[in-house]
Amino acid sequence: MHDRIHEHTSRRSPLSSLTHTPRPHRPRARLAGGCAALLATTALLAGCSSDSGHDSAAQAAASPSSHEGMTGMAMGDPSATPAYDLPDATAVFKGTFTLLDTRPPGMDAVKGTAWLAQGLKGTTVTVKLTGLKPGASYMAHLHAQQCRAKNGGAHFQFEKGGAKMPPNEIHLAFKADKMGVGTTTVNNERTTGYSARSVVVHPAEAMDNRLACADFVF
């Protein structure tokens, strides 16, 4: 199975045909409904009134199920088939997390890997990290630049300048277990091609702190 992970350019051709196929914008009605339900039950106003993608952590932590998309895992599903095991992926890329200077204190032992699979079912991303704070919540996003350029730069977006939430961006919300291991997998119907260069992990309660970054090796 792990021979599907290719880090070489020899796999360019199957992917290039999938890059940036225009698709109609998915309606945000589902998201709005999820927020309405969330508001009704928990009055989590901050998460729903803002358009900032970085408020998504509060929403995900409060009620992951309220933001499920068609695939049922808009923010990640730890039990989903990981990107490195997908039988129908045409290309799988891998990246190793490196610590960023902006990380909060006490996070020096964090290590991990990110995988990006693309194919007819769109994009699947898996992250797995160790050395996290046991029981703590984290958020990872696909970012548009490499780690060495502004620690990943802005979030990757399918429609640039569009919604700062999935499905226009790819977010992964996850929680570290009692051993400090955190993993999840998320799917998006569209393929990112080579435009999503990195994954950045943030502590969910401090989204401005960039903890670690992994460049995909294309």
Residues that bind Cu ion (CB under 5 A): 141, 200
Nearer to Cu ion, 147 or 200 (CB): 200
- Distance of alpha carbon 130 from alpha carbon 210, whole angstroms: 16
3-state secondary structure of 91: strand
- Distance of alpha carbon 169 from alpha carbon 117, whole angstroms: 16
Residue 91 CB, nearest distance to Cu ion (Å)? 23
Residue-by-residue DSSP string for 141-196: EEESS-TTTGGG-SBP-SSTTS-SSTTTS-EEEEE--TTS-EEEEEEESS--TT--
Nearer to Cu ion, 117 or 200 (CB): 200
Residue 202 CB, nearest distance to Cu ion (Å)? 6
Looking at beta carbons, which residue is closest to Cu ion? 141
Residue 158 CB, nearest distance to Cu ion (Å)? 16
Residue 55 CB, nearest distance to Cu ion (Å)? 12
Nearer to Cu ion, 53 or 119 (CB): 53
Q: Among 38, 79, 75, 30, which Cα is nearest to 56's?
A: 75
Burial 11-28 (b: 16+ CB within 10 A, else e): beeebeebeeeeeeebee
Nearer to Cu ion, 196 or 200 (CB): 200
Nearer to Cu ion, 128 or 164 (CB): 164
Residue 70 CB, nearest distance to Cu ion (Å)? 23
